[in-house]
Each structure stands twice: as structure tokens, then as C-alpha cells.
């Protein structure tokens, strides 16, 4: 589709036998065989005869899903390849069931011009096992002062614009950004946070921050900025994607704007759906991220909204950090946690298995909806379509061990947690991207 | 006592009573002798690691260690490798290589003492971690109250002032309640942490709430921690509404303050000079209480180490051996 999405060829025939195929968007839920030939899904039906050159996988008791799509990944390339690079980030994504990830532009140098985007796409083309799409920054250097080369970057194939990590405080600049992005019909992905309200906060403001003596980031820092940004998007008639929502009232604002006609999508991270701010009591910096883990009431409401289909997307905000940037007192530690390898197993275990969210809703929010939000190829399990799928063992139980990650970084909030459900195989853009060793 | 003293919550009510009894029985009177030194911790090494400006706490810890005959080294952040970009982990590992028995740490960040304890076999005493906690201050405050009031059960304490920025408040709200006291917080809303009522204290916004209290615990305005100047509209307004003077007191009420005091801001000069306050008793108590803490942290764990020597596989076991208990218990003036 775009130059920034690496194109991949295809090889041998693969048959996955007796597998439960689930693709809610295509209306598929059946136990059958899936044959993949030359990178395409040749048939979704009992495989006849026996192709000698076919590789056969026993899918009994396993689940075949459309490959996952992440709209919010930090790949650290260029600039901090010690934390993550295209190869390790894409390998981590493939191991987590992802077939497309969208890399945020807060690299060093910032992806604020076409040259950086072309070079990123080139590295991804050679190094990444799955498709990597790129976002360009909204402002030059993400400094919030002047617009970046948005038109050039659109030509280079970026799928959205964002100053993620640095909310655009200047409303006039943001208005211009909506207009410029509208001209190339791309959405802005907005990190919504009023920095004056957030102050020096390092965690959610509430009873836990009061107990610990840590400066808090109030929910209002997010909700106030969400409300302002939605008003502007509505006024400009522009596409907007609200990144990593942590407060239930942000969702309410999104629904109001949507009713008024705004073209708005949104995302929630796995950690905001599963964890609350009580985790911070132990001062483990793997629970430090921005937006911060909120209280149980907000978490619960986000889960209910996801179950009801009111949360469009789940995005990881995969933020790898060198260990020395996390192995410090909590206040000094960098914000952010990794998520590509833990998102699906954790959500399956914590939300689907207890019956809080349906598997169908989870798949929509992790695959179909995010692909549509950024106009990416929608992974679908349909005959004749390109193979973008993942095979999951829903019974396998194990403990999350960051030492085993494909990611270069270990800063994960689910370290040591027992989960049930493991990605065995990922086929991205018709090519085998990941296969777990038996 | 536990291996470390990181939070007032590390101690049960009985353990607090026990440490305070040690302070009162064994160490309070020592300061009144001509020779203010006992050989109790002779041969032990104590490193005081101060990453924040401190006069009374660092003096108190240094003196307490020296009066116990320990070798005491003071490391100030501004004169160490910290200014050269060394991380807290590496500073701790370096200091740990000298095999100290106790590391006393003050640091501008919450949880720093707990963090240090992960990288050393020494006992770690939290001498203030950012806006987090100040457990030795809490213990000396309880000690001072015990000397004045005997029975702390049901005692009513108002903590007044800049609670938002106060680690002393955070330790005391929890420690005072643990001892059976009733705690009320009095401050403008902007100087109270959001959600503070979760700690169990009542909240009020005017000095009228001091009526009926037994103890008024004043806090300094920590302007150095005010990232923006807007926590109160003006110091004049704060003083008009929250500066406590003798006229606010009723008979029998006593005033505490962890120091340093700002005369004319949170405390009127006449009250600072009056015998209705226990401020200097607190300082004196601080020395005895810190001696008791360091003594008990060594002795209790040495005894525990001997009892558990069969299973001494833990990080802690090695450091627990050393001077015999008999030697440690030899609390007699060097003469």
C-alpha cells in the first residue's frame, strides 16, 4: 500500500489442520483446515489429499486468529538501538502475534522529515520480520513549535502523525496540524496530557500517591486535553486518534464527540486494562508509565467499555528502556514498559478467560479495528487473501520471563505473572515471521 | 527490629515500644554524663550518605554513632562521585565494598532507602527519602510525646502546615495512629495531598480545628520543594491563617516541630521561645532514639543471626555475625 510498509514475498505451502479459525470481522468461527499457498490463504476447508511438499501443522485445540496490529510501538531506531531496533522490535512483535506495528516518531533524530522515514523504512525492509509502518512527528523535533514536513512524510508513506510523549500544548499549532494532516487524509494520533496539570507527577494522583508521597498526575490532566483536542478535531472536521486512554471520562468525551460527528478512534493499553495504581506501592519502576496506572474504578470502566465495543483499539505503547534507566529510585526512572510479547497472553488470561471480555471483542480491538483506524491492510482470514495470522495455544500455561524476550529490553509490567495462552506461529504478509520452538 | 528501618510501617506497636524503652533506659541519661561515650558499637562502621542538605539529622546520626564508639563516615552528595554522574546503585555498591554495618541514607527521592537496601548487605536506615518517609523522626516524636504525656492512647494530635511536601507528616500520620493516637491534618487544601484521607486522618482547613487537641505538630513551609510558587497565594495570607501563636493554644496543649523552624511563618516567635513547645526535647530525644535504633538493629539481628546460623544462606546472614552479644551489651561509660 505505501512505501513505508515493507513488502514481502511468499514461499511454500502450509496446512494447519483441525484448527478453530476465528475472524469476527469476516464472520468466520469454524473448526477446519487452513491451507496457505504462496503467501495467500488458498482454502479454509478440509484439506483434500496430501500435498507432498506441504508443511502440515496439527492445529487441534488451537486457535487461528487474524494477525494483531499495534498502532503504538516505540522502536528506538534510529538513536537508541541498544534498547530496541527494527529486527528485535519486529521479532518481539511477531512472537506476540503481531503482523503490523506502527512505529512512533520519537527517535533520535526525530522522524520529522521524509529522509528519516525513508531510512527507517529501508532498515525495516531488510531487518524486520513483519510489516512496520511509521508515524511522522507533528512538530519539528517534537518541540511543539513548528510543523514538521507532513506532506513530504505522507509521500514517504507515513500512516499518521504524532508527537507522542510530548503533547501538543499550542492549540494554534495543533489546529494547523489538523488542517495539514487533513490535506493528506491522515489522522493525528494524540498523546493527551495537560503538562501544567501533570506537573512533576510520576504516578496517578489519588490515595496511593498520597500514601507514598509521590507527586500525582490527575485524571484531569488527560481528560481536559482530550476534551480540547476533540473540540478542535470536530471544528476542523479532521481525523483524530486518541492514544493510550487511561481515564473513563476520556471515553465519555470521545463518545460525545463521535455523536457530534467527529472522526475519532481511540486506544487503550493492556496495562491500563489489567493493572491499577496499587501496583506502585512496591515502587517497582516497571509500573511507571505515562499515562500512569489509574485507580481500580477507572480500570474497571475501561474493561467494561472494551467488552461493550466502545474502545476501538488496544495498543501496547511498547516502550523499551535500557535497564539502567529503570534500575533507579522510582522518581528518577524512565516512563514506559514493553508490551508486544505480553499483550495478547495477558489479556486472554486476565480478561477473556474470566469472561469479562469476549474473545471476539479482543480480536476486533487488537487486529481489525486498529488496521482500519490507520488505513492499514486489514488482516482477515478469507480465501484468496494475503496470509496475516497467528496460531495460539490457548491452554499452555507459563510464567512471563523478560529474560526470554525477543525484545532487547526487559522493562515489563507483567514480569513473573502466570498466563495461559501462547502464540505458536505468526505469518505476516504471507511469510513465516515467527514459529515457537517446540 | 527488622534488618532495615525504611518505613515506620516496618515496626509494630510493640517493637516501637521496645526501641523507645531502649532509648529511655540505656541512652537518654548518657548525654548528661561528662563522658558521653559507650563502647557498644566499637569496631562497627556506619556510613551516613546524605544527598540532601541536613544539619540536625546528619549531626544527630553522626553523634549517635560516635557515642556508640562506631567508626562513622559522612558522605555528602555534593562532594562525592555523585556529581560525576554515578548512579545510586553504583554508589551503594562502592560503599558496600567497604563492608559497613549500617548505611544511613537521606535522598531527595521516595523509596531511595529501600532501593539502596537492594544492593548492600549493611543495615539501611532511612533518614528521609524525598516526600516519602522519615521513620527515625517519627520514633523520636513518639518518644518525646511519651515523656510528656505517658499514655498515648487516645491522644489527639493536629499536624499543621505543609503536609503535601512533608515526609515527616507521612511517617507521623501512620506512626501516631499505630500508637493509638487520633490524628487531624490542618492545612490549606493546596498543601494537602489528594487522597490523604486514605491514611485515616481527619482533615480540616483552619486553625479553629486546634480546639480540643492535646498536641499541635507544626511543619515548616518547604518552599524549596514548591515546584511552582502557587501553593499559597501569598506567604502573608498563609501566615495570617496558619501561623500558630500562643493565643491559639489552650492550657495543657503542647507544640512539636521537627525543625528547622521559621519564626513568624508557621510558628510565632513567642511560642518558639515558650516552654509550651517541646522542640529542644525532640532534638535531645533524637540522639537517644537514634542510638537505640542503631544499637538494636545490630544486636537484634546478631542474635537472630546466631539463632538461625544453620540456615544462614541469605544475603543478611554474613553481616549478622561479628562482635559478640556480650560485647555489644557492654553499655558502660568508657572511662
pLDDT of res. B327: 44
Residues of A in contact with B193 (CB under 8 A): 209-210, 213, 216
- Predicted local confidence at residue B233, as pLDDT: 84
Closest CB to A207 among B110, B195, B228: B195
- Domains defined along chain B, listed by start: 8-134+283-328 (3.40.50.1370), 135-282 (3.40.50.1370)
Q: What is the pLDDT of residue B311?
A: 36
What's the average model confidence in pLDDT over A15-31? 96
CA dihedral A113, A116, A119, A123 (to 10 degrees): -130
pLDDT (tens digit, 9 = 90+) per residue, A311-331?
Answer: 999 999 999 999 999 999 999
Tell me which of A23, A112, A312, A317 is the catalytic residue: A317
Segment A186-209 mean pLDDT:
97
Residue A429 clears pLDDT 50, i.e. is over it: yes
B31-56 pLDDT per residue, tens: 889 999 999 999 999 999 999 988 88
Selection from A240-249, B75-84, B311-320 with the highest mean pLDDT: A240-249
Q: Render pLDDT for A276-305 as a digit per residue (tens, 0 to 9).
A: 999 999 999 999 999 999 999 999 999 999
Averaged pLDDT, B109-131: 97
User: Residue B231 — pLDDT band, cuts 50, 70, 90?
Assistant: confident
Which of A199, A324, A329 has its CB closest to that of B115?
A329
Across chain A, mean pLDDT equals: 95
Residues A380-409 have pLDDT tens digits of 999 999 999 999 999 999 999 999 999 999
What confidence tier does B224 reach under pLDDT thresholds 50, 70, 90?
confident
Pairing relation of β-strands A28-37 and A160-161? unpaired
A214 contacts on B by Cβ (under 8 Å): 110, 131-132
Of B107, B110, B227, the CB nearest to A283: B110
Q: A1 pLDDT exceeds 80?
A: no
Q: Answer whether residue B330 shows pLDDT above 60.
A: no
With 80 as the cut, is the pLDDT of residue A124 above it?
yes
pLDDT band at B225 (very low <50, low <70, confident <90, very high): low
Chain B contact for A297, CB < 8 A?
no
> Is-cis flag, bond preceding B260, omega within 30?
yes
The fraction of chain B above a pLDDT of 70, given in percent, is 87
A218 contacts on B by Cβ (under 8 Å): 194
* pLDDT beyond 70 at B81: no
Q: Which residues of A12-26 are buried (b: 16+ CB within 10 A; e: fewer)?
A: ebbbbbebbbbbbbb
Tell me what pLDDT residue B140 has: 98
Q: A214 and B196 in contact by Cβ < 8 A?
A: no
The predicted structure's pLDDT at residue B222: 83
> Can you tell me the distance from the alpha carbon of A141 to that of A144, in angstroms, rounded to the nearest whole number?
8
User: Could you give the angle at the alpha carbon of A321 between the alpha carbons of A135 and A301, nearest 5°?
Assistant: 70
For chains A and B, CB pairs below 8 A equal 73
pLDDT the model gives residue B323: 43
- Quick: pLDDT tens for B295-326: 999 999 987 655 544 333 333 333 333 444 44
**What is the residue whose three cell numbers read 480478561?**
A351
Q: Is the pLDDT of residue B329 over 70?
A: no
Beta strands in A370-430 (DSSP E): 389-399, 418-428
What is the pLDDT at residue B230?
77
The predicted pLDDT at position B79 comes to 62
Distance CA B108, CA B6 (A): 14
State the pLDDT at residue B334. 44
Mean of per-residue pLDDT scores for chain B: 89
Alpha-carbon distance of A136 to A116, in angstroms, equals 9
| Residue of B239, B258, B264, B243 lying closest to B169 (CA atoms) | B258
Contacts of A185 (CB under 8 A, 6+ apart): A239
Nearest beta carbon to residue B193 from set A199, A209, A283: A209
Provide the pLDDT for residue B209: 97
A317 annotated active-site: yes
pLDDT level of residue B332 (50, 70, 90 thresholds): very low
CA angle A21, A25, A30 (to 5 degrees): 25
Say whether pLDDT at B177 is over 50: yes
Q: Chain B, 218-237: which have a CB under 8 Å from a chain A CB?
A: 227-228
Q: What domains can be seen in chain A, in order of their start residue?
A: 14-63+385-435 (2.30.40.10), 67-373 (3.20.20.140)
Give the residue on B whose Cα is nearest the Cα of A333.
B109
Indicate the pLDDT class of residue B331, thresholds 50, 70 and 90: very low
Q: Does A213 contact B196 at a Cβ distance shorter than 8 Å?
A: no
Enumerate the β-bridge partners of residue A264: A240
Residues ≥6 apart with Cβ < 8 Å to A38: A10, A11, A13, A430
Quote the pLDDT of residue B303: 74
Looking at residue B232, what is its pLDDT?
85
Chain B CB within 8 Å of residue A401 CB: no
For A214, B232, B242, B267, the CA distances from B236, given in Å and listed in that order, are 28, 9, 10, 13
Considering the entire predicted model, what is its pTM? Answer: 0.91
Choose the mutation target among A201, A203, A207, A210 for the interface with B, i.e. most B CBs under 10 Å. Answer: A210
Amino acid at each position: 500500500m505505501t512505501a513505508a510498509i515493507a513488502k514481502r514475498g511468499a514461499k511454500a505451502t502450509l496446512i494447519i489442520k483441525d484448527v478453530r479459525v476465528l475472524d469476527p470481522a469476516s464472520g468466520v468461527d469454524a473448526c477446519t483446515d487452513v491451507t496457505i499457498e504462496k503467501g495467500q490463504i488458498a482454502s479454509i476447508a478440509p484439506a483434500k489429499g496430501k500435498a507432498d511438499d506441504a508443511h502440515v501443522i496439527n492445529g487441534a485445540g488451537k486457535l487461528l486468529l487474524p494477525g494483531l496490529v499495534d498502532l503504538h510501538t516505540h522502536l528506538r531506531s534510529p538513536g537508541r538501538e541498544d534498547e530496541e531496533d527494527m529486527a528485535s522490535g519486529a521479532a518481539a512483535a511477531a512472537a506476540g502475534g503481531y503482523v503490523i506495528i506502527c512505529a512512533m516518531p520519537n527517535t533520535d533524530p526525530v522522524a520529522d522529515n521524509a529522509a528519516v522515514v525513508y531510512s527507517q523504512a529501508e532498515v525495516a525492509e531488510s531487518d524486520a520480520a513483519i510489516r512496520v509502518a511509521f508515524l511522522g512527528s507533528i512538530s519539528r523535533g517534537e518541540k511543539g513549535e513548528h510543523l514538521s514536513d507532513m506532506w513530504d512524510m505522507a509521500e514517504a508513506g507515513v500512516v499518521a502523525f504524532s508527537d507522542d510523549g510530548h503533547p501538543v500544548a499550542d492549540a494554534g499549532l495543533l489546529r494547523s496540524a489538523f488542517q495539514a494532516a487533513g490535506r493528506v487524509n491522515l489522522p493525528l494520533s494524540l498523546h493527551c496530557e495537560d503538562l501544567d496539570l501533570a506537573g512533576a507527577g510520576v504516578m496517578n494522583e489519588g490515595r496511593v500517591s498520597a500514601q507514598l508521597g509521590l507527586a500525582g498526575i490527575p485524571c484531569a490532566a488527560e481528560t481536559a486535553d482530550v476534551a480540547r483536542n476533540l473540540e478542535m478535531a470536530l471544528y476542523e472536521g479532521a481525523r483524530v486518534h486518541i492514544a493510550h486512554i487511561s481515564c473513563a471520562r476520556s471515553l465519555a468525551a470521545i463518545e460525545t464527540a463521535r455523536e457530534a460527528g467527529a472522526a475519532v478512534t481511540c486506544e487503550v493499553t493492556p496495562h491500563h486494562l489489567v493493572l491499577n495504581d496499587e501496583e506502585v506501592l512496591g515502587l517497582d519502576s516497571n509500573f511507571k508509565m505515562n499515562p500512569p496506572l489509574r485507580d481500580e474504578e477507572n480500570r474497571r470502566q475501561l474493561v467494561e467499555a472494551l467488552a461493550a465495543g466502545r474502545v476501538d483499539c488496544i495498543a501496547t505503547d511498547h516502550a523499551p528502556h535500557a535497564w539502567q534507566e529503570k534500575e533507579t529510585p522510582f522518581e528518577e526512572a524512565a516512563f514506559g514498559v514493553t508490551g508486544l510479547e505480553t499483550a495478547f497472553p495477558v489479556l486472554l488470561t486476565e480478561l477473556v478467560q474470566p469472561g469479562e471480555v469476549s474473545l471476539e471483542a479482543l480480536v476486533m480491538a487488537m487486529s481489525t479495528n486498529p488496521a482500519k483506524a490507520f488505513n492499514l491492510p486489514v488482516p482477515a482470514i478469507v480465501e484468496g487473501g494475503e496470509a496475516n495470522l497467528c496460531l495460539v495455544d490457548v491452554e499452555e500455561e507459563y510464567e512471563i520471563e523478560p529474560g526470554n524476550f525477543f525484545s532487547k529490553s526487559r522493562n515489563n509490567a507483567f514480569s513473573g505473572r502466570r498466563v495461559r495462552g501462547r502464540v505458536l506461529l505468526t505469518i505476516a504478509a504471507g511469510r513465516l515471521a515467527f514459529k515457537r520452538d517446540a | 527490629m527488622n534488618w532495615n528501618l525504611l518505613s515506620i510501617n516496618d515496626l509494630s506497636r510493640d517493637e516501637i515500644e521496645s526501641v523507645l524503652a531502649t532509648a529511655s533506659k540505656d541512652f537518654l541519661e548518657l548525654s548528661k554524663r561528662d563522658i558521653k561515650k559507650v563502647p557498644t558499637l566499637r569496631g562497627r562502621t556506619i556510613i551516613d550518605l546524605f544527598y540532601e542538605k541536613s544539619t540536625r539529622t546528619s549531626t544527630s546520626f553522626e553523634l549517635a554513632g560516635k557515642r556508640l564508639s562506631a567508626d562513622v563516615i559522612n558522605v555528602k552528595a555534593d562532594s562525592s562521585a555523585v556529581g560525576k554522574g554515578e548512579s545510586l546503585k553504583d554508589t551503594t555498591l562502592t560503599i558496600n565494598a567497604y563492608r559497613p554495618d549500617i548505611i544511613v541514607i537521606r535522598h531527595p527521592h521516595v523509596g531511595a532507602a529501600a532501593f539502596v537496601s537492594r544492593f548492600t548487605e549493611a543495615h539501611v536506615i532511612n533518614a528521609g527519602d524525598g516526600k516519602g518517609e522519615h521513620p527515625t523522626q517519627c520514633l523520636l516524636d513518639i518518644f518525646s510525646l511519651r515523656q510528656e504525656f505517658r499514655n498515648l492512647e487516645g491522644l489527639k494530635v493536629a499536624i499543621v502546615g505543609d503536609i503535601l511536601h512533608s515526609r515527616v507528616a507521612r511517617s507521623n500520620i501512620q506512626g501516631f495512629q499505630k500508637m493509638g493516637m487520633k490524628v487531624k491534618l490542618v492545612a490549606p487544601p493546596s498543601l494537602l495531598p489528594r487522597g490523604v484521607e486514605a491514611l485515616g486522618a481527619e482533615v480540616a482547613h483552619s486553625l479553629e480545628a486546634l480546639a480540643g487537641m492535646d498536641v499541635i505538630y507544626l511543619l515548616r513551609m518547604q518552599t524549596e520543594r514548591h515546584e511552582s510558587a502557587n501553593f499559597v497565594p501569598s506567604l502573608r495570607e498563609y501566615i495570617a491563617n496558619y501561623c500558630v501563636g500562643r493565643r491559639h493554644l489552650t492550657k495543657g496543649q503542647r507544640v512539636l516541630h521537627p525543625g528547622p523552624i521559621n519564626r513568624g511563618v508557621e510558628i510565632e516567635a513567642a511560642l518558639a521561645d515558650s516552654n509550651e513547645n517541646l522542640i529542644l526535647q525532640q532534638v535531645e530525644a533524637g540522639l537517644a532514639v537514634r542510638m537505640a535504633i542503631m544499637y538494636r538493629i545490630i544486636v537484634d539481628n546478631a542474635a537472630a543471626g546466631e539463632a538461625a546460623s544453620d540456615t544462614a544462606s541469605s544475603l543478611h546472614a554474613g553481616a549478622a555475625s561479628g562482635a559478640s552479644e556480650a560485647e555489644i551489651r557492654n553499655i558502660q561509660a568508657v572511662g
